[in-house]
């Protein structure tokens, strides 16, 4: 949701955008897309001109973005379901000479995208914390072995949005 | 005869196993027993009316929170903040007084009163995220195994702010007004800053 909000703010609530989805059979693909649209769909002047899967893959994202750009040359933003696709989309935009005009947003917090945010190539990403997830799972397993049974069925781990401003703080 | 008896026993066993292994039910009956779909709008309307007003009265003064975090971060976060998710984000219900600097399209810029006044934004357009749900402390993780239901509670609470709270105070605000406020804030334990903090308003009253 935070990325959706930042996306709307950066596009000033208006413009054409593209969404690159991950694997269509993957739960994360739709969870991320739904969170994004729960904000963006409230702004009628933001028009999604294309929504296509690029399978979470950088090379496929570049190919998909290249073909989308031929059909829709005037876009203002791209939301990608992961960072690899964001880098692929950026590469396609760079080749088309549109990298300065189109704002790219990713998800995951990969090192190369954090560097790209610092270099003004990507606008934002959602940082995930696999180490926290692993540590928490280990702690809960230990508690379970020791007899605790009172656990919630699901425990969310917060995703932190990383922007250029955050990169400066970090 | 023995051979016939043997086959008969095997057949009976297969029939019994088969009978107890396969159940045929009408799809409509199965759907009916899986429980009703969670209605976030009804849940939030009830929360808003029955529980939130009392919870708002327990909001901590924003300057007290700020000072407490500066003195003892971990203790203050434990005492005054809440979060359903694991991570650095913590949420608090805060109150205070402020002076209006500028009434913008998407927010209201204010200066929070105190020994060390600081800038903040009352969000009036981009009211999204889990700040209000988590700051309220009224929603228990164990009650909602479905993440989508948890998210829908946040969406409905945020809608209430955008559609009920914001129209109740924003049209009457002007630069220089003094206000009393109660609202929800998000803090990142690893990157604590109060200056320019965003505040989701729950109550805003002009005071003279």
Range of the domain at A114: 2-128+159-169
Q: Do B191 and A166 touch (CB under 8 A)?
A: yes
Residue A136 is assigned to a structural domain of this protein: no
Range of the domain at B130: 59-207
B84-126 pLDDT, tens per residue? Answer: 999 999 999 999 999 999 999 999 999 999 999 999 999 999 9
Residue B28 is assigned to a structural domain of this protein: no
Residue B86 is assigned to a structural domain of this protein: yes
Residue A29 is assigned to a structural domain of this protein: yes
Q: Chain B: residue nearest A39 by CA?
A: B128
What is the Cα–Cα distance from A92 to A87, expressed in whole angstroms? 9
| Angle in degrees, 0-180, between the axes of helices A27-40 and B147-160, rounded to the nearest 10 | 0
Residue A150 is assigned to a structural domain of this protein: no
Of B88, B141, B146, the CB nearest to A155: B141
pLDDT tens series, chain B, 208 aa = 678 888 989 999 888 888 877 777 776 666 565 556 889 999 999 999 999 999 999 999 999 999 999 999 899 999 999 999 999 999 999 999 999 999 999 999 999 999 999 999 999 999 999 999 999 999 998 888 888 899 999 999 999 999 999 999 999 999 999 999 999 999 999 889 898 899 999 999 999 7
Nearest 5 degrees, angle CA B45-CA B79-CA B115?
Answer: 100
CATH number for position A57: 3.40.50.2300
**Domains in chain A, number:** 1
Residue B1 is assigned to a structural domain of this protein: no
The interface pTM score, or ipTM, of the predicted complex is 0.86
Residue A146 is assigned to a structural domain of this protein: no
CATH number for position B78: 2.40.50.420
Q: Chain A: residue nearest B191 by CA?
A: A169
Residue B102 is assigned to a structural domain of this protein: yes
Nearest 5 degrees, angle CA B169-CA B175-CA B177?
Answer: 60
DSSP E strands: which ranges in B75-196? 89-103, 107-112, 118-123, 178-188
Residue B180 is assigned to a structural domain of this protein: yes
Query: Distances in Å between the alpha carbon of B123 and those of A20, B138, B194?
Result: 30, 22, 15
- DSSP label at residue B103: E
Of B84, B106, B188, the CB nearest to A156: B84
Instruction: Confirm or reject contact between A8 and chain B (CB < 8 A).
Output: yes
Residue B103 is assigned to a structural domain of this protein: yes
Residue B195 is assigned to a structural domain of this protein: yes
pLDDT tens series, chain A, 170 aa = 789 999 999 999 999 999 999 999 998 899 899 999 999 999 999 999 999 999 999 999 999 999 999 999 999 999 999 999 999 999 999 999 999 999 999 999 999 999 999 999 999 999 999 999 999 999 999 999 999 988 888 889 999 999 988 766 55
**Domains in chain B, number:** 1
Handedness of CA A6, A10, A13, A17 (dihedral sign): negative
A128-154 pLDDT, tens per residue? Answer: 999 999 999 999 999 999 999 888 888
């Amino acid at each position: 949701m935070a990325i959706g909000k930042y996306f709307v703010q950066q596009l000033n609530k208006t413009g054409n955008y593209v969404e690159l989805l991950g694997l269509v059979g993957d739960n994360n693909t739709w969870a991320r897309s739904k969170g994004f649209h729960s904000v963006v769909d409230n702004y009628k002047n933001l028009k999604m001109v294309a929504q296509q899967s690029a399978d979470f893959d950088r090379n496929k994202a570049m190919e998909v973005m290249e073909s989308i750009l031929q059909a829709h040359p005037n876009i203002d933003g791209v939301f990608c379901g992961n960072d690899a696709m964001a880098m692929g989309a950026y590469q396609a935009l760079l080749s088309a000479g549109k990298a300065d005009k189109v704002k790219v947003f990713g998800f995951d917090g990969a090192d190369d995208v954090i560097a790209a945010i610092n270099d003004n190539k990507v606008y934002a990403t959602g940082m995930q914390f696999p180490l926290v997830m692993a540590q928490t799972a280990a702690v809960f397993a230990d508690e379970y072995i020791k007899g605790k049974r009172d656990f919630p069925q699901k425990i969310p781990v917060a995703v932190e949005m990383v922007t250029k401003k955050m990169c400066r703080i970090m | 005869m023995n051979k016939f008896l043997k086959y008969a026993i095997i057949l009976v066993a297969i029939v019994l196993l088969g009978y107890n292994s396969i159940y045929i039910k009408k799809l409509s009956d199965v759907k009916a027993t899986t429980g009703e779909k969670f209605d976030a709008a009804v849940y939030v309307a009830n929360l808003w009316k029955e529980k939130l007003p009392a919870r708002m009265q327990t909001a901590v003064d924003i300057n007290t929170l700020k000072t407490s975090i500066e003195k003892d971060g971990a203790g203050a976060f434990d005492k005054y903040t809440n979060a359903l998710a694991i991570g650095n984000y913590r949420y608090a219900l805060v109150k205070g007084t402020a002076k209006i600097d500028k009434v913008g399209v998407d927010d209201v810029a204010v200066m929070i009163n105190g020994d060390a006044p600081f800038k903040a934004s009352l969000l009036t357009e981009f009211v999204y995220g889990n700040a209000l749900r988590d700051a309220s402390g009224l929603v228990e993780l164990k009650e909602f195994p479905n993440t989508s239901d948890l998210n829908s509670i946040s969406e409905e609470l945020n809608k209430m702010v955008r559609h009920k709270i914001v129209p109740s105070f924003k049209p009457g605000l002007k630069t220089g007004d003094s206000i009393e406020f109660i609202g929800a804030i998000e803090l990142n334990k690893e990157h604590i800053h109060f200056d320019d903090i965003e505040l989701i308003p729950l109550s805003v009253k002009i005071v003279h």
